[in-house]
Each structure stands twice: as C-alpha cells, then as structure tokens.
Chains A and B, each alone.
Chain A
Amino acid sequence: MAPKSSTPASTNVVQTLWKAYSDHTSDRLKFIDAFLFFLMLSGIAQFLYCILVTDYPFNAFLAGFASTVGQFVLTASLRSQVNPENKNEFKEISPERAFGDFALGSIVLHFFVYNFLG
C-alpha cells in the first residue's frame, strides 16, 4: 500500500488498534461498548451545556449528568463481569446474575434521577 500523506505512523497505529479491536471482541461486548459510547456522548453534551450556556436548574444538571455517569459505571461493570476472559475473576457470578445486578442497579439509579430532576 502507498504511504498516506498525513503522518503515516499515527494513522497506522489507530488503524491497527481499530482492526485488532473489531477482530478480537465478540459481538455482545461490542454491543455493550456501543451503549457505553452513547452514554459518554450524552454526558459530555450535558456537561458542555452546563458550562457554556447555563447551569440554572443545577439540580437538573446533576440529575442528568449522574444518570449518564451512573449508567456508564453499571454497564462497564456488566461488561467486565460478562467478558469470558475474566471468568477466573468472577467465579461465583454467572452472566445472568451479572445482568440481574445490572438491571436492578439501573432501576434504582433511574428512580433517584427522576426524583432529583425536579
């Protein structure tokens, strides 16, 4: 392949990283990663709105931001518990149990968020 006009080394590194990621992660983990990416975008958007425009109903900002951050944390822990490569770390926790914990934690998080949203 002919070398690229922009910095070839960094572009190659990013491409290799992406290729390795998409080859070696299972579909379900990629699905979780897509959800995590969406949550991160949502959180960043709310944070930028708070800084640049107004933080006027501050409780609403905290509720919305905490919603995305909390959901991110729960989904990340689901991903690490469900990943077959981590089976040795989580011997007593089956994937189903992990998903159950994830669902329960999320419900409680959403309850708090909607109460604080005002």
Chain B
Amino acid sequence: MVQLRSLFFLTVGLATRLYARSSTGDSVLVIVEPNKQDNYSVFFDGLKEQGYELTFRAPKAEVPLVIEYDVPSFAHVILLASETKNFAKDITPQSLVQLLGKKTNLIIALSSKQTPLSSLAAEFSLALPPPGTPLVSYFPEREESPQVIPVSVQPNSIISSNINPVWFSGVPHSIGNNPMVVPILHAPAESFASETDGGSPDALVDASERGGEGLWAGSQLGLVTGFQTLDNSRVTFVGGADVFSDEFAQKEISKGVPCGNTAFARDVVAWTFQETNVLRIESTTHHRVNATEPSEQYTTNDRLVYTAYISKYDPKTSNWAPYSGIKDLQLEFTMLDPHIRTALLPVSGNLGKYSVTFRAPDRHGVFKFVINHKRKGFTYLTSSMTVPVVPPRHDGYPRFLSAAWPYYMGAISTSIGFFLFSALWLAGDSREKKAKGHKAE
C-alpha cells in the first residue's frame, strides 16, 4: 500500500518536474531502523518529490558504506535511528565528522537515550540534558501527553515566515557560544526537561530555589539547531525524529488548522542540503585604476581597483544567479595586519559585481586581498589573492621637488653670477690693456 503510494508520488514528481535541487548533489542515505521506516513515509515521499534519490540502510547493515577510501558515497546523510545504540563499524562520530570535512551534509536526530550521537552533539557546542529527560510541557492544555508539544515557529533566515506551529517530541539542548551554530527552533517558554514518569516535583522545587540551576527549561533551549562548518557543509541536530513522522504530520494543531511539520521539515532539509542561503564567489580580479588587466606587481601609493563577482544558488532553477544583496561585504588589504579595511559595495547596474577603489599603502611588501565574510546561516565566503607591492623605481620619484626651489635658485644664481662676473672682468681687463697700450704709446 505504502509502496504504491510512493510510486504514485514518484511518477507525479517526474511528470510535473517541480523540484528544488540541492547545489551539491541529490543522493541521500537514510539510516533508519527498517521497522520504523514506514513511519516517515510522508517525509520520504516529499524528499523524492523534490528530486532526491534516497537509499535506505539499517544502522547495523554493512552496506552501503557512508565513506569508502576517503571518498564519501553520498551527498547527504539523514540519521533517523535515534534510539539505536549499536551502529555498523563505519558509522561513528569520527566518520561523521570526516564526512562533514568532505562536504557532506547531515541531519541527525537525537533522543533521550544515550547513543554515540549524543556525544557528537557536544562537539558542536550543543549540550544535552541527562539521559532519560525528554522535553515536557503542560501548556497549552491538550489531550496529547505532556511530551508531545506544539512549538510555534519564529521566522528567521532559514525558516519561511508563515509556518503553523510544529508538533515536537524529544530532547532539548542548550546552545553554546560557538559562532558557527545557527539556531532554527527554540523550545517554548513553559517547557522543561524532566523524567518521563513525572519525576519528583522536589527536583523542580530544588532547582527553582537555586535560581534555575540544573533545570533545563525555557526558550533558550534549542530543539532544532544547525551548524555550518568551515568547509561550508551543514549539519542539523533535531531533538527528536518524530518531527518528521507521519503521525505528527497529520495531526492538527487546533480545529481545522493543520500543523506545520511538513513545511518545517521542507525548510530544514532545504537549508541543510545546500539549497537555500548558498553563496559563492565566482571570480575576483584586481588592476590599477586606468588598466584592465591585473599587473604582476604594484607600486606603493598606486590606486587599485578590486572586483568580486558573487552568485547565489537558486534552487528553483538549479543554477547560480548573480546576487547583489550582500550589504556588508568587506575587503582587507593585508600584510600581517590589515593595512586597508574597506567596504566592498555592490555596483549598481551590474548584478553580482562588487567593487572598490583604494590607494595602496605607503609600505612595500607582499600584500593579500582578503575577503572573509561569515554570516549565520549563509555560506562562508573566503578569498585571498597575493600581490607584491614594490617601492618606486629610481626614476619613479618626482623630478623637481617644490620644497627645494630656494636651493635650485641659489645654485643657478651662483652660476649666472659667476658667468657675468667673468664676462665683465675680462671686458674690464681688455679695457685696461687698451688704456695701458695707449699710455705706453
């Protein structure tokens, strides 16, 4: 029955060709317990409809390997086996980090059970509460258990703005200070992490007496958090795999209002699998102000022009379009320290082109044009071009210095005076000789 349904969706998807494609590849490995696989059929069908090719694997199965001979086998990996304690040999926290280093994107589901993946989350500055303490909230009043919580979604750069509240069940985590962490969904203010059997109210009372110390509660807890590594691969930690489940996707938030689980899952997958917020620098050039080609070397105090072309990936058309929307791009002209730090502004009328003109500093040496643009949720842009800056050649200096004119005039007047003097002296000499000659005669 389910196979038929997925077949139907596949054909519909192929027929209508409405998909948003990832910029790094379409092959996805889904690691999920086989008996739970059917719980996520809506989610998987949505992925297939978008154009991803899913490969399913049980956590303990030996094939297909995630990474083979240092080459990742898939472009993206989804780990929905949040309760499995024993994985196959090639799925370890170290191998997952290695995958991230090779530009593979991950979605990792956590649970209140202690698995090898819980320690992995700590490496990304996300601290999990003690094992066996899922998120609990008694507000708003509802028929579901206190561990199934409707969470309202705040729009940010990753989540679009009109998503209905999302059903969540799982563990929260506290978000550390790392600037590469991108929070996506925060816990509701009235929720807290506690043991499932209700725990002891004494624990709560003790914690509140100590000013909340030891109590995992409040909206500062994250439920779904992303992380973008320096290689620009993205990993999202989801507090519970039930966010993607069919049961939650079909549950209504209130009478007649569907929940936002499918749309939320769509947006999370779009960000994590490099569809949205993906930028890249197409090319950079530099040249002197009146030239068009870059020079081998520049002279101090030259006026230089630096240009960068930046594009953004458009998932709907699957290609890179020039993008002029970065308002705070910055260029540094660096030799050990940035000598020049200036804004790289978009050129109006030329989409995707950013340019700046500046004067090379009065120091000679080997400089670098550095772009280092890191913003939460967007691809990190880094670029560096090395260029030598030499002092002026011996004939590159101004010929006559205006400060030295008195000395020039002094030397010239001395020469003129000397010539006039000797001319008049000799004239006087010949006049004296004539007079002497006349006298002698």
Contacts and interface: CB of A to CB of B under 8 A. Distances in A.
B407 A45 contact: no
Contact of B406 (A27, A35, A38, A64): A64
B403 A56 contact: yes
B413 interface: yes
State the main secondary structure of chain A at its contact with B. helix
Contacts of A103: 422
A43 B406 CA distance: 11
Nearest to B410: A64
Contacts of A118: 404
Contact of A67 (B414, B421, B432): B414
Contacts of B415: 67, 110
B414 A68 contact: yes
A103 B170 CA distance: 106
Size bin of chain B's contact surface:
20 to 34
Contacts of B410: 42-43, 45-46, 64-65, 67-68
Nearest to A103: B422
Interface of A: 27-28, 31-32, 35, 38-39, 42-43, 45-46, 49, 53-54, 56-57, 60-61, 63-65, 67-68, 71, 75, 99, 102-103, 106, 110, 113-114, 117-118
Nearest to B420: A35
23 contacts: A27-B428, A28-B425, A28-B428, A32-B421, A35-B421, A45-B406, A46-B406, A46-B410, A53-B403, A54-B403, A57-B404, A60-B401, A61-B404, A61-B407, A64-B409, A67-B410, A102-B422, A103-B422, A106-B422, A110-B418, A113-B414, A117-B408, A118-B404
A49 B411 contact: no
A8 to B, nearest CB: 38
Contacts of A75: 421
Given A49-B407, A118-B404, 7 more contacts: A31-B424, A43-B410, A54-B403, A57-B403, A63-B411, A106-B422, A117-B411
A56 B404 contact: yes
A75 B418 CA distance: 9
A35 B401 CA distance: 29
Contacts, number: 79
Contacts of A64: 406-411
Contacts of A63: 407, 411
A49 B406 contact: yes
Contacts of A43: 410
B365 interface: no
Contact of A71 (B403, B414, B428, B429): B414
B417 interface: yes
Contact of B411 (A32, A45, A57, A113): A113
Nearest to B397: A118
The 4 closest A-B pairs by CB, nearest first: A64-B407, A64-B410, A60-B404, A60-B407
A39 B417 contact: yes
A107 to B, nearest CB: 9
Contacts of A46: 406-407, 410
A85 to B, nearest CB: 17
A62 to B, nearest CB: 9
A114 B410 CA distance: 11
Interface in B383-441: 401, 403-404, 406-411, 413-415, 417-418, 421-422, 424-426, 428-429, 432
Given A57-B401, A103-B422, A42 B407 contact: no
